[in-house]
């Protein structure tokens, strides 16, 4: 084969190979193109991924990071996505929580509404004898105790019951003087008017002396009828009650003014309650109260404030308040400790929120207001009178606004409210993690 024929054969082979490659490529493209077209046609548009701006401390601390990391406790920092930050002054502290997180955390709200705010004042008191119903047996003359009819402390006595019999030379002398004056009046009936008047004055002076010595009317009538003077004088109980003090001993000598008995009528008792200084403005005479004692669990006694003392105990910062209550069964004993609850009436309807809704700090009070479902905002408020379960709101909140009453304890620090609320609200984006 010559040189020209070889070149021609080489060209033919190259052309054949090129044609075969082109035909094979065309056939392969024709087989794959419909599948590719079908895949592209059936594919949904790609979802746009949110952009992470930075990562926030999971414990609400003022610490952010441009990259994902863990804190000292091993907790993942929480991502903050584009569109979630709010540069407005009001929006910086707002927080959003998903519905499932609200349910898991137990977040509950209540409406700020107008209510009659009542408040109970609690104080510790003690039972004391009613001073108006306390009686003292103290002779006004010198003498000796001849006989005791009541010889024990705590013994019950009734009005008119004999307590003791005493002997006194002065008493015998006064009775004899009165008897002589009475006899003189009888003997001078026929005498002149001046003599009769003088004897009458003597008899009246002797009778007044005996009355001043608390001689019973029975004995005075006996002397008036001409009976002989008695050697002893009987002292009787002036009222129904209990002997709370007894100093009389049979045979002892007593001097004028010595207290031999003290008798207390315990059908009505006093309670002296120590009310704190800050509650004093809410306590008025005539105010009703409930009294409880440890001796009778579950039982309440009704009392009424009768007097607010004008003095204050500088050590306890309390003011004594006197209450009076009936004690017909004698269940309340002097010196018993009591728990006193005074009901302070309100001054009409005022705007209130539950006490549990308020976050107290050293300088301010804050509530979490629900703006929309799942979105909350901290609001500083000014408080007024506190009741049993509710507190008056003077400023910062309107009627009908919803406030969080549970789970607001998640705010770690009032001084760093924004960061704490940020950690609170970021749980919306960490459903797959457990922090």
CB atoms within 10 A of CB 128: 17
For residue 342, list its beta bridge partners: 121, 289
Q: Closest Cα to residue 206, out of 183, 181, 230?
A: 181
β-strands 365-372, 232-236: how paired?
unpaired
Average pLDDT, integer, range 16-38: 45
Q: For residue 29, what are the CA distances in angstroms to 16, 21, 38, 416?
A: 20, 12, 14, 65
Q: Which of 32-41, 85-94, 274-283 has the least mean pLDDT?
A: 32-41
Amino acid 31: pLDDT: 47
Amino acid 49: pLDDT: 66
Q: For residue 51, what are the CA distances in angstroms to 57, 84, 85, 375?
A: 18, 10, 12, 22
Amino acid 75: pLDDT: 77
Average pLDDT, integer, range 347-355: 86
CATH topology of domain 122-130+265-344: Elongation Factor Tu (Ef-tu); domain 3 (2.40.30)
Band (pLDDT 50/70/90 cuts) for residue 413 is very low
pLDDT at 330 over 70: yes
Listed in order, strand segments (DSSP E) in 57-99 are: 64-65, 78-81, 95-96
Tell me whether the CATH fold assigned to 89-117+348-429 matches the one assigned to 122-130+265-344: no
Average pLDDT, integer, range 191-204: 75
Provide the CATH number for the domain formed by 89-117+348-429 in this structure: 2.40.420.20
Of 133-147, 358-372, 374-388, give the range with the top mean pLDDT.
Answer: 133-147
pLDDT at 256 over 80: yes
pTM of the entire predicted model: 0.58
Q: CB of 163 within 8 A of CB of 139? A: no
Average pLDDT, integer, range 38-65: 61
Find the angle CA(426)-CA(427)-CA(432) to the nearest 5 degrees.
125
Q: List the chain domain ranges.
A: 1-44, 89-117+348-429, 122-130+265-344, 139-257
């Amino acid at each position: 084969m010559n040189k020209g024929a070889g070149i021609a054969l080489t060209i033919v082979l190259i052309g054949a190979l090129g044609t075969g490659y082109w035909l094979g490529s065309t056939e392969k493209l024709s087989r794959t193109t419909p599948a590719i077209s079908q895949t592209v046609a059936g594919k949904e548009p790609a979802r746009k991924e949110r952009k992470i701006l930075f990562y926030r401390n999971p414990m609400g601390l003022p610490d952010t990071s441009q990259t994902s990391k863990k804190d000292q406790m091993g907790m993942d920092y929480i991502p903050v996505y584009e569109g979630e930050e709010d540069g407005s002054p009001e929006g910086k502290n707002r927080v959003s929580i998903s519905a499932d997180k609200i349910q898991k955390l137990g977040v509950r709200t209540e409406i700020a509404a107008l209510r009659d705010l009542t408040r109970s004042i609690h104080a510790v008191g003690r039972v004391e004898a009613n001073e108006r119903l306390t009686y003292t047996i103290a002779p006004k003359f010198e003498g000796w105790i001849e006989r005791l009819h009541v010889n024990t402390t705590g013994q019950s006595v009734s009005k008119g019951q004999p307590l003791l019999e005493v002997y006194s030379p002065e008493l015998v002398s006064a009775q004899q003087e009165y008897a002589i004056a009475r006899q003189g009046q009888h003997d001078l009936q026929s005498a002149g008017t001046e003599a009769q008047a003088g004897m009458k004055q003597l008899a009246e002076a002797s009778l007044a002396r005996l009355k001043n010595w608390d001689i019973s009317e029975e004995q005075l009538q006996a002397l008036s009828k001409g009976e002989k003077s008695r050697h002893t004088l009987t002292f009787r109980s002036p009222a129904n009650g209990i002997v709370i003090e007894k100093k009389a001993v049979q045979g002892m000598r007593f001097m004028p003014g010595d207290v031999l008995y003290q008798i207390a009528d315990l059908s009505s008792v006093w309670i002296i309650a120590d009310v704190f200084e800050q509650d004093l403005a809410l306590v008025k005479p005539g105010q009703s109260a409930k009294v409880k004692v440890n001796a009778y669990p579950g039982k309440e006694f009704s009392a009424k404030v009768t007097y607010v003392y004008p003095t204050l105990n500088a050590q306890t910062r309390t003011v004594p308040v006197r209450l009076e209550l009936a004690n017909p069964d004698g269940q309340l004993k002097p010196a018993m400790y009591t728990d006193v609850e005074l009901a302070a009436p309100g001054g009409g309807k005022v705007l209130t929120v539950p006490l549990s809704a308020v976050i107290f700090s050293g300088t301010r009070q804050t509530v979490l207001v629900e703006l929309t479902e799942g979105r909350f905002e901290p609001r500083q408020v000014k408080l007024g009178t506190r009741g049993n379960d509710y507190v008056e709101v003077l400023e910062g909140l309107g009627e009908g606004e919803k406030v969080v009453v549970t789970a607001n304890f998640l705010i770690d620090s009032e001084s760093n409210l924004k960061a704490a609320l940020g950690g609170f609200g970021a749980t919306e984006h960490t459903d797959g993690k457990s922090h």
